[in-house]
Structure 1
Amino acid sequence: MLIDNIESFENNILEDVLPVLNKKVDTEIYKEYQISEMADIEKKFLNGIIRYVKPKKILEVGMAAGGSSLIILNAIKDIKDSKLYSVDYSTEYYKDKNKNSGWVVDEYFPNLKNKWIVNTGGPLAKFIENIGNDIDVCLLDTMHINPGEILDLLVVLPFMKKNGIIILHDTIFHMDYETSYHYVHSYTNGLIFSVLKGKKYMPSDIYIKNISNIGAVVLENNSINNTFEYFFILTFPWSYIPNDDDFVYIENIISKYYNEKLSNLFKDVTGIKRARNLHGEVLNTIKNGNKFNNIVSNISNFIPFKKARQKFKNSLIYGKEIDERKIKVDNMLKKLIKE
């Protein structure tokens, strides 16, 4: 368990890195932005948890400039055998393609890198087995749109230590910009924080008393087969579809570490999402010959029997009427979704 007001615990440690975290820089796209994307109370909360728990293995999913990486590395610099494993899908910093993900540590505090192992260029599922078991603390801070961190949560849970801690940043991100389409849909971490089972902690912020944009959950039950709610929230609307290569990595972890019922639920839900996405692509590219043919081939992969698969492809690719193609696509996808 954590103590109340964990954000006040040894927050003097932050003084060594605050000048860099609060530094403002410019790029061609972004002007006068702060290196750290965390408010001061959020920095203190993250630092306090690390200083109090003294974890041996920490996983950070989502680095960006490396602000949270720096907070954690600074907090564990005197903790024996403590390591930070950072994962970012992108090798480049999204605000400046001339810099690598996590560049702040490289440029300002290279002396802290001896406790840092970085993995970039793929989803968490690509690296998690090499990172291994007994993760004490995991910070999830990536896209904040579905399925984003939901997939990361399902991937990391089998590797968490008993009573491990999940920290979620941007838990009320969606409340700050209610007129913006993007931000209204950025509720993923708030959704996860709501359903996670365990003792929950949030610092008290000025914006909403006793609620902040960061939260932590001390997992009360690490039985990965008691996680139906975490799979169910995948049914909420998705803002993007991971590519096929990413799904291979993710499905491998799900099938290996969860029971058959949950694994099948995952395949059913994600299969529907992917099929509906292909449906949308077909309707948008129905007149584009080569692209349309490629999409038809992708859809046909859902059909288990070779003869039926080829018949379906031929009837669409060589069909004469565009309206007839649309009807066939609709009927086939409805059948796949129903099944």
Structure 2
Amino acid sequence: MYKQIGLYDLQEDILSKTTESYCEMTKAEHGFLCGLIKKFQPGKVVEVGVAGGGTTAVVMKCLEAVSPDAKMYSVDISKECYRRKGRPSGFQLEEVKEFLTNYKNHQFYLGKVLPKVIEDIGGGIDFAILDTVHAMPGEVLDFLCLLPYLKKDAVVVLHDVTLNLSRSEKAFATKILFDTVHADKYYNYKDQILNIAAFQITEHTLPAIANVFSSLSVSWAYLPNLSDIMAYRDKYREFYEQECIDLFDIFLDAQYARFHRQEA
């Protein structure tokens, strides 16, 4: 059964300090996210997918209240906010830094995919937020890269787990990851399912990780460039058994062949 988490939405006021209230998480979704932070009080947080940085600011404000010494690292493949042309990814956090006593505990990694910066971030991560393209292979690739650097009971938050039902039919990467990973799962619902979920790593997660690798057979919506996809593969080879690498190679070849057929 899915576990529930009490919403903790006192931190969203930080968004009123920005020049615009743009954010891609709702107040309720921030409440879910901050409820998890309040419950688990993480010491090392990694966020993959930054956009304007509104959620980054909310998380930092929440950490200030419940885990003030925590470090946060935000990773985005784009140096420019994809919905605010001319503005850097994470610009909203910069706008509110004077209101955060823990601002020095944050660091951006922009312009590179996760496997190219994860070694610099290092291990001991006990809380992660995956909120990138949502289309396959998207967050599946990032989780598989991140898992070896997570603590044994780390929490992973997934945004837009039901986005495919409302706006984008191809936006189901986070839901596929949520459903295939073996973990303790948090999924709040009553009359309406929140578009956000989370899971906590257990001793069963790694032994069952082939299921997540197998999910890469689902049709990809885009092809990462060769340098990036090889960076993921190289990272996987460091930590996973050969069966998982074989699955990755088989499905990668099949996805590339599929795209080439479509282009022919």
How high is the TM-score relative to the length of structure 2?
0.91
The CA deviation at 1:94 is 0.5
Separation (CA, whole Å) in 1 of partners of 2:142 and 2:149: 12
> What secondary structure does 2:78 align onto?
coil
Determine if the alignment matches structure 1 residue 199 to structure 2 residue 174.
Answer: no
Q: Percent identity?
A: 30
Letter in 1 for 2:81: Y
Asked whether the equivalents of residues 15 and 54 of structure 2 are also in contact (C-alpha less than 8 Å), the reply is no
Asked whether the equivalents of residues 12 and 58 of structure 2 are also in contact (C-alpha less than 8 Å), the reply is no
Determine if the alignment matches structure 1 residue 17 to structure 2 residue 10.
Answer: no
Separation (CA, whole Å) in 2 of partners of 1:241 and 1:138: 24
Structure 1 equivalent of residue 118 of structure 2: 128
Asked whether the equivalents of residues 160 and 222 of structure 1 are also in contact (C-alpha less than 8 Å), the reply is no
Determine if the alignment matches structure 1 residue 103 to structure 2 residue 88.
Answer: no
Deviates more, 1:62-71 or 1:269-278: 269-278
Larger helix proportion of the pair = 1
Separation (CA, whole Å) in 1 of partners of 2:176 and 2:52: 25
The CA deviation at 1:15 is 5.3
Letter in 2 for 1:101: S
Q: Deviation digits for residues 2-22 of structure 1, max 9, x if unmatched?
A: 9843214xx33x15414247x
Separation (CA, whole Å) in 1 of partners of 2:98 and 2:220: 38
Asked whether the equivalents of residues 130 and 158 of structure 2 are also in contact (C-alpha less than 8 Å), the reply is yes
Separation (CA, whole Å) in 1 of partners of 2:262 and 2:4: 48
Q: Deviation digits for residues 59-86 of structure 1, max 9, x if unmatched?
A: 1000000011111111112524311111
Question: Which of 151, 159, 169 is residue 159 of structure 2 equivalent to?
Answer: 169
The CA deviation at 1:161 is 0.5
Separation (CA, whole Å) in 2 of partners of 1:223 and 1:275: 31
Q: Deviation digits for residues 308-337 of structure 1, max 9, x if unmatched?
A: xxxxxxxxxxxxxxxxxxxxxxxxxxxxxx
How high is the TM-score relative to the length of structure 1?
0.72
Asked whether the equivalents of residues 200 and 217 of structure 1 are also in contact (C-alpha less than 8 Å), the reply is yes
Structure 2 equivalent of residue 316 of structure 1: none
Question: Which of 45, 49, 57 is residue 70 of structure 1 equivalent to?
Answer: 57
- CA gap of 1:119–1:205, structure 2 versus 1, over 3 A, is farther
Question: Which of 151, 157, 174 is residue 189 of structure 1 equivalent to?
Answer: 174
Q: Which runs of 4+ in 1 moved over 4 A?
A: none
Query: Structure 2: which 5+ runs fail to align?
Result: none
Structure 2 equivalent of residue 233 of structure 1: 215
- CA gap of 1:20–1:171, structure 2 versus 1, over 3 A, is farther
Determine if the alignment matches structure 1 residue 87 to structure 2 residue 98.
Answer: no
- CA gap of 1:128–1:15, structure 2 versus 1, over 3 A, is closer
Determine if the alignment matches structure 1 residue 115 to structure 2 residue 102.
Answer: no
Aligned counterparts, 1:145-294, within 5 A: 145-177=135-167, 183-204=168-189, 206=191, 208=192, 211-221=193-203, 224-281=206-263, 283=264
Separation (CA, whole Å) in 2 of partners of 1:188 and 1:171: 8
RMSD between superposed Cα atoms in Å: 2.1
Q: Deviation digits for residues 276-332 of structure 1, max 9, x if unmatched?
A: 323444x2xxxxxxxxxxxxxxxxxxxxxxxxxxxxxxxxxxxxxxxxxxxxxxxxx
- CA gap of 1:6–1:146, structure 2 versus 1, over 3 A, is same
Letter in 2 for 1:94: Y
> What secondary structure does 1:200 align onto?
strand
Letter in 1 for 2:112: G
User: How many corresponding residue pairs?
Assistant: 260
Letter in 1 for 2:59: I
> What secondary structure does 1:100 align onto?
coil
Aligned counterparts, 1:320-331, within 5 A: none
- CA gap of 1:254–1:3, structure 2 versus 1, over 3 A, is closer
Asked whether the equivalents of residues 225 and 262 of structure 1 are also in contact (C-alpha less than 8 Å), the reply is no
> What secondary structure does 1:37 align onto?
coil
Q: Which of the two has higher C-alpha Rg? A: 1
Letter in 2 for 1:117: Q
The CA deviation at 1:205 is 5.7
Separation (CA, whole Å) in 1 of partners of 2:138 and 2:80: 18
Separation (CA, whole Å) in 2 of partners of 1:235 and 1:274: 11
Asked whether the equivalents of residues 58 and 138 of structure 1 are also in contact (C-alpha less than 8 Å), the reply is yes
Letter in 1 for 2:142: D
Structure 2 equivalent of residue 294 of structure 1: none
